[in-house]
Structure 1
């Protein structure tokens, strides 16, 4: 009966991870540029001596639904929505380069240009730092223009260009911080053809109706595995009773 018990426990573990991903998606249904988490797994036989009679679910690295969310016009000069599969290069918490679709940019108190969740935006030579400015605009190719304090509003100055990359043909994975990373800590090259829409934001691509349905299905699957686990226990107790010696 141990095969049934361990198989059910393994399935319940996978269902827990799936439920966690669904809950995270629902919590981020209004997060700018958020891409819904996707949990996938494959079956793999246990390695060891004897016949491979037991297959377990082995989860793959976290993936995401890369379909675009709806674009909303905001009119804010530092809001950008990325076209196609373009991504913004940012500096992750560990100092390494990562990628995001979040375009609600702002200037932090330190002068650094950061995304809405606080990650520094990368430019041609590293994180972009903004001097005191009265206005900041971002061109269609990611070029950052600013008007210095007391400067002529009709004569904006070019500061830097946001590093925009394309994920086409590259192996990337999504991390717990909602940032994307290239395989083996790689760095994606600049995509000169990448374009952004200024004064607009890409909304989350989470479908709340589908997420609710998935949550119900996952809960029912959990109940099924829990019943199998109880059945395995009952069978084990019955077998032990049959095998016991009479007093």
Structure 2
């Protein structure tokens, strides 16, 4: 068994995944409320894959975690339909197929049918389902606990959700997440911190992500070269001993 080729292949796979994570973070640089993923690499004994008689070596195994701590930068917009969450919780929306998705992007508006929706047209969910708002022209206000009032009359409350295991959320793209299996452990936030007229900024640090991409690309090239050199040495050894 060629240990160099085996461990090199694992390293290349981990670097490819790392580059994907960095690219996704950068793509969401301007997504309101976006919290980036972090990439952690740990060594796993080769025998875990190859059995107890495998040569002693460590394989690089990666895990992904999502940043859930720390405040997001706030940007005041002045729009009564823009909302930010000061903690790590999520808004709940319903896509066109009726699927519940979670997002920290609180850039909403009222559609032609009178529902509060996001930029994709997904209906924003309240405690009792999609939030239907009385016609424009009324005084629209949202308190810090998510209660929505129109002309001082309560018409609904934003469903603000948090998760016991946010790393189990499935990324859906566009800053959305799903928890169809329930593994993330969704629960309603009893005392949410909703800020009306503002949007939470992305927590992505562009320079940090760019440096990571450069380092990953250089490491990828180096490992490719080492694998090629190892393969050439193996072929030379085969030719030498076969003569």
Which bracket does the TM-score occupy, shorter chain normalised?
Answer: 0.7 to 0.9
TM-score norm. by structure 1 comes to: 0.82
1:157 and 1:219 mapped to 2: Cα distance? 57
Structure 1 unaligned residues grouped into runs of 5+: 147-154
The TM-score normalised by the length of structure 2 is 0.84
2:220 corresponds, among 219, 222, 247, to: 222
Instruction: Report the CA distance shift for 1:59/1:124 in structure 2 as closer, same or farther (over 3 A).
Output: same
Q: What is the distance in 2 between the residues matched to 1:176 and 1:164? A: 19
Alignment partner, residue 171 of structure 1: 165
- The structure whose residues are more often strand, as a share, is 2
Q: Distance in 2 between matches of 1:129 and 1:243?
A: 79
Task: Tell me, yes or no, if structure 1 residue 200 matches structure 2 residue 198.
Answer: yes
Name the residue aligned to 1:85: 88
- The residue that corresponds to 1:244 in the other structure is 242
On the 8 A contact 1:171/1:183 being kept in 2, the answer is no
The answer to whether the aligner puts 1:160 opposite 2:156 as a matched pair is yes
- Could you tell me which runs of 5 or more consecutive residues in structure 2 were left unpaired when the two chains were aligned: none
Aligned residues: CA RMSD: 2.5
Partner of 2:182: 185
In 1, the alpha carbon distance for the partners of 2:39 and 2:120 equals: 23
1:209 counterpart residue number: 207
Moved over 6 A (4+): none
Compared CA separation, residues 241 and 88, structure 1 to 2 (3 A):
same
Partner of 2:66: 64
Tell me by how many angstroms 1:201 deviates: 0.9
